[in-house]
């Protein structure tokens, strides 16, 4: 059985960009507008010798109604199916109420969760990440999914203990 990793976070934080990079596909639609990936999407990743199953999700926005409610329930199912959750936040946008809502849910769920600040390209990653420590999920891993920065270290951290 391959380890299963779920990508969770509000829309537009870069989940599909990371999914595509790790699975070497363009299957997960990357959008300049939030919420395009409305279902769970599975991919098999082979990344620098590591093999795992990745689940992309449409995202959780915090005020769940209509299509958002469907996306949120897909995300929660993905969390259920996963061995590890990567909770992505946007280092450029900063901490949002939606991030806090998702973090609260993930802390209650008790699944192994790594907090990942994406989009640290061209900004001071350390200062941009500092406010995310208040989410109570421990270390903030810094990546730039669209540039490939920080990803091999993240994958190693997730999979080495498994
Ligand atoms: P999702 O809704 O969480 O799946 O987010 P997407 O993967 O669709 O990305 C949303 C937007 O963020 C797109 O315009 C991406 O090109 C952009 N994006 C994703 N990763 C990065 C990154 O590392 N740096 C920057 N600057 N932009 C990124
Ligand atoms: Mg997406």
- The phi, psi pair for 18, rounded to 5°, reads -70, -40
Question: Has residue 69 got a pLDDT over 80?
Answer: no
Ligand 1 atom nearest residue 118's Cα? 23
Q: What is the pLDDT of residues 12-64, one digit of tens each?
A: 999 999 999 999 876 665 555 555 455 678 888 988 899 999 999 877 765 55
Interface confidence, given as ipTM, is 0.99
Select the highest-mean-pLDDT range: 58-67, 75-84, 132-141. 132-141
Separation of 138 CA from ligand 1 center, angstroms? Answer: 23
Q: What is the pLDDT of residues 83-99, one digit of tens each?
A: 999 999 999 999 999 89
Q: Tokens for 75? A: 């995300």
Helical ranges in 24-150 per DSSP H: 67-81, 97-109, 125-129
4 labelled as ligand-binding?
A: no
Contacts of 1 (CB under 8 A, 6+ apart): none
Residue 38: predicted pLDDT: 54
Separation of 146 CA from ligand 1 center, angstroms? Answer: 7
* C-alpha torsion sign, points 101, 79, 38, 29: positive
Separation of 73 CA from ligand 2 center, angstroms? Answer: 15
34 labelled as ligand-binding?
A: no
14 labelled as ligand-binding?
A: yes
Topology of the domain comprising 4-159: Rossmann fold (3.40.50)
């Amino acid at each position: 059985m391959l380890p299963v990793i779920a990508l969770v976070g509000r829309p537009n934080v870069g989940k599909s960009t990371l999914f595509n990079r790790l699975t070497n596909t363009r299957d997960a639609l990357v959008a300049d507008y939030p919420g395009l990936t409305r279902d769970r999407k599975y991919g098999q990743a082979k990344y620098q010798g590591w093999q795992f199953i990745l689940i992309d999700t449409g995202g959780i926005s915090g005020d769940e109604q209509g299509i958002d409610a469907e996306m949120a329930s897909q995300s929660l199912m993905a969390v259920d199916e996963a061995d590890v959750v990567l909770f992505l936040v946007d280092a450029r946008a900063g901490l949002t109420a939606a991030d806090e809502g998702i973090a609260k849910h993930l802390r209650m769920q008790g699944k192994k969760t790594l907090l990942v600040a994406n989009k640290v390209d061209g900004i001071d990653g350390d200062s941009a990440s500092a406010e995310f420590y208040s989410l109570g999920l421990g270390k903030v891993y810094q990546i730039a999914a669209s540039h490939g920065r920080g990803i091999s270290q993240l994958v190693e951290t997730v999979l080495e203990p498994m």
